[in-house]
Every structure is written in structure tokens, then in C-alpha cells.
Amino acid sequence: MPSLPVIGLRGKGNGDGKTPAPSLPVPMSAYVVNCGVYVDGERLDGRWTHSEAIEEVRRRKCGFVWIGLHEPDEEHFNGIAQTFGLHPLAVEDAVHAHQRPKLERYDDTLFMVLKTVRYVAHESPTTANEIVETGEVMIFVGKDFIITVRHGRHAGLSAVRQQLEHDTEALDMGPVGVLHAIADQVVDTYLAVTEHIEEDIDILESEVFTPRSPVDAEQIYLMKREVMELRRAVSPLAIPLRRLSEGYSPLVSEQARSYFRDVDDHLTTVSERVASYDELLTTLVDAALAKITLQQNTDMRRISAWVAIISVPTMIAGIYGMNFKHMPELEWRYGYAGAIAVILVACFFLHRSFRRNGWL
């Protein structure tokens, strides 16, 4: 088998700012996670380059190639794009990522973008800094090939590949069968993530409605932000799945359309859950703010009550601190004790009155 092609990484220079450092060769295998040839639902033995794989399939006039890549750069991906005749706009989207879920058709090739999500484990939603992590999978589907480009650490497809290699019926549908399996896996992950988020929201809800519990509205805002991030991954995917289930491309057979309709049904369930979570979090935000406002009002009443109590000795001390010559009780032997007694009695009755009214 011929050696794998390599690409060069541009150096930073030798320090004089003029002469670049020698390029470091990077093998194509650094980006290619897997490259397999599938015929009659079975994977052929051996290791293949992308060019050898497609040549083998077209020589046999049956089967397809599945190439998986992880965050390739543009220079590397151009070789594969030329071999499989991929559209430059789709190639650019696949390399640079940060795309919304979508489905586009370029001649006889489909290009689909899926957003992957991962639930970030944490001790409590009241202390978490991140709950949902997202990635992307770009998929090129042709008559005899499927190319997956992953972005993100958690968007692995090895489990899907292993499952399909034990399911000849799905592989018999060709590249579209692989596309369905990937979409199904992504949507099933959405369902699993929504279940975890529901548990977190239940914890936040109990915290908000528990009397005298500390409520941090910022954590509810964080949860709402994470739900919105999940919503941006879920909602735009509805149209691409609906197109696939309605025969958007001749690559999608009638049998495959029914499978995509099933995935679309699952996505609808996820969308409804996410929408309900968003509404519930909005309610929790309002409840938390109302609770904070009530707590602030209670604190202000308590502060006002103590200010009223303290104002009694302050007033008496202020009056007798004006130093006028003719003032009552200045020459009285028990004037000091009497003033203290008046202060204590007045403060006692004010304190009792505020306690009775619930201000203290």
C-alpha cells in the first residue's frame, strides 16, 4: 500500500523575521479517524487510503466508502474534496465549523450539519458553571460514499460504527443508512441530555419554593442559557429531517424515508421538552426575583423598625445636648436615671409593637 500523503505546517521563522522554519510533515492519518469499505453490509478487511477505498468500490460497482475525520484543516481536506467531487462551499463549512443544523444539496451530493451535545456532569445545578457542551458533525453523502467531519471532543461516532457493523440491514441501505444512524444517535443523545436537565430543573425548583432557602437567580439564568444553547441545536434540525423524510433527494429511498420520519418524531419530543423547560425556567426566574424582592422588603422593614427604636434615645440625647441654661430636670437629682428609664420604656414598647406586627 502506498505511503500516506503528508501536509506541511508553516513554521514561525528562525527568529530574524525573514526566513521561515522548515515545514513539519503531518500525515493525513492524523485527521482520518477511520476509513472503511462496506460491501453487502460487511466491512472489507485491510487498511485503505481515501483514494484506494473509492477506487475499490467503483471497481466492484457496489458498496460504499465511509471516511471519518476529526477537525481537519483546509489544506488537508482539499485532497479528499477533489477525490470525491465535494462542493467548495460545503468544504469551507465543514472545515471552519460553527454552523447551524442544515441540509443542502449540491448536484448528486447531500451535505448535512448536525449539532452534537453532551451533558456536563456536576455536583449540583446551584454551583455548576457549565451544563451543556456542544460540538458538530458535518456529513457528505453521495451515491457510494459518506464522509463525516467531527468538531468537538465528545462527538465521536465509534459507537455508531460498531453498531452498524453488526446491523447488516442498515448498511444495506448504503450511505443513507449511515446518515440515518448518525442522526438517530444524535437525537437520542438530545433525549438523554433533556432528562438530565429536567432533574437539574427539579432541584432548582425545589430550592426556589423552599421557605427561607438561599436563592441565586444567576444559577437559574445560567440554566436558561444552557437550555437556549440546546434549543439552538435542536430546533433548526426539524426542517432537514422533514426534508429527508419527504424525498428531498433521490439518494433517500422510500425505505429510508420511514426511518427519518421516526427520527423526526423523536426530535419533536425533544423540542417540546426544551420549550417546556424554557417556559418553566422563565417562571422560576420570576419566582426567584419575587422571592428576592420579598426578602428585601422584609429586611427593609426590619431595618426601619430598628431605626425607629434607635431614634428614641437619639432624640432624647439630642434634646439634652443642646446646652440651653433653662431646661427641665437639669437640676433634678434623678434626672439621668429618669431619662434612661424613659428611653428603655419607650424602646421596649416600640420593640413589642414591631414584633406583634411581624416587623422583627
The top-scoring range by mean pLDDT among 71-75, 106-110, 300-304, 353-357 is 106-110
- Residues 43 and 37 sit within 8 Å (Cβ to Cβ): yes
Least confidently predicted of 91-105, 118-132, 265-279: 118-132
Q: Does domain 296-356 have CATH number 3.30.420?
A: no
Confidence of residue 30 (pLDDT cuts 50, 70, 90): low
Give the closest residue to 142 by CA, choosing from 114, 190, 108: 108
Least confidently predicted of 76-90, 176-190, 199-213, 257-271: 199-213
Output the pLDDT for position 24: 40
Q: What is the pLDDT of residues 60-72, one digit of tens each?
A: 889 999 999 988 8
- Alpha carbon distance 234, 331 (integer Å): 86
Q: What is the CATH number of domain 31-292?
A: 3.30.460.20
User: pTM value?
Assistant: 0.76
Length of the chain measured in residues: 360
User: How many other C-beta atoms lie within 10 A of the C-beta of residue 335?
Assistant: 14
Could you give the angle at the alpha carbon of 289 between the alpha carbons of 235 and 207, nearest 5°?
80
Q: DSSP state, 21?
A: P
Residue 26: pLDDT above 60?
A: no
| One fold for 31-292 and 296-356 | no
Could you give the angle at the alpha carbon of 148 between the alpha carbons of 120 and 241, nearest 5°?
80
Q: DSSP state, 22?
A: P
Give the closest residue to 230 by CA, choosing from 281, 180, 287: 281
| Domain residue extents for the chain | 31-292, 296-356
